[in-house]
Amino acid sequence: MDSLTHIVLGACIGEVIAGKELGRRAMLWGALAQTFPDIDVVAELWLDTPSNLLAHRGFTHSILSCLLFTPFFALMAKRIHRSRNVHLRTWMWLFGVEMFCHIFLDSQNAYGTGLFEPFSHARVSFNTMFVADPLFTIVALIASIVLLIFRSKKDRRRLIWATAGIATSALYLFICTINKLMVTSEVEAMLAKQHITYNKNFVTPTPLNNLLWYVVANDDSGSYVGYRSVFDKQATLPLVYFKRNEALLNDVHDNESLQKLKRFSQGYYIAQQWGDTLVFSDLRFGQMVGWKNPDEKFVFHYFLQQPAGNDLVIQRGRFAKWDNTAIPSLWNRMMGR
Q: Is 272 a residue whose pLDDT tops 90?
A: yes
Q: Does residue 335 register a pLDDT over 80?
A: yes
* Average confidence (pLDDT) over 242-266: 91
How many residues are recorded in the chain? Answer: 337
pLDDT of residue 147: 93
Q: For residue 326, which of 203, 206, 232 has the smallest C-alpha distance? A: 206
Least confident of 55-69, 135-149, 223-237, 247-261: 247-261
What is the pLDDT, as a whole number, of residue 153?
62
Q: How far apart are CA 303 and CA 127, in angstroms?
A: 26
When mean pLDDT is compared across 254-258, 294-298, 312-316, the lowest value belongs to: 312-316
Higher pLDDT, 198 or 251: 198
pLDDT above 70 (res 34): yes
Query: What would the pLDDT profile of 95-144 be if each residue is shown by its tens digit?
Result: 999 999 999 999 999 999 999 999 999 999 999 999 999 999 999 999 99
Q: What is the predicted pLDDT for the residue at 258?
A: 94
Q: Among residues of the chain, what percentage have pLDDT more than 70?
A: 99
| Alpha carbons 210 and 231: distance in angstroms, whole number | 11
How do the domains of the chain map onto residue ranges? 3-175, 199-334
Residue 181: predicted pLDDT: 98
- Whether pLDDT at 248 is above 90: yes
pTM of the model: 0.93
- Closest to 180 measured CA to CA, from 207, 217, 209, 205: 205
Mean pLDDT confidence for 314-327: 86
When pLDDT is averaged across residues 13-40 and rounded to a whole number, the result is 95
More confident residue, 308 or 262: 262
Q: Which pLDDT does position 85 carry in this prediction?
A: 84
State whether the Cα torsion 286-289-294-297 is positive or negative.
Answer: negative
Position 247 scores a pLDDT of: 94
- Amino acid 276: pLDDT: 87
Does the pLDDT of residue 152 top 70, yes or no?
no
Per-residue CA distances from 202 to 70, 95, 254, 284, 286 (Å): 33, 33, 28, 8, 11
| pLDDT score of 145 more than 90 | yes
pLDDT in tens, 62-107: 999 999 999 999 999 999 998 788 899 999 999 999 999 999 999 9
Q: 244-248, 288-292, 306-310: which has the minimum mean pLDDT? A: 306-310
Task: Measure the CA–CA gap between 85 and 181, rounded to whole angstroms.
Answer: 46
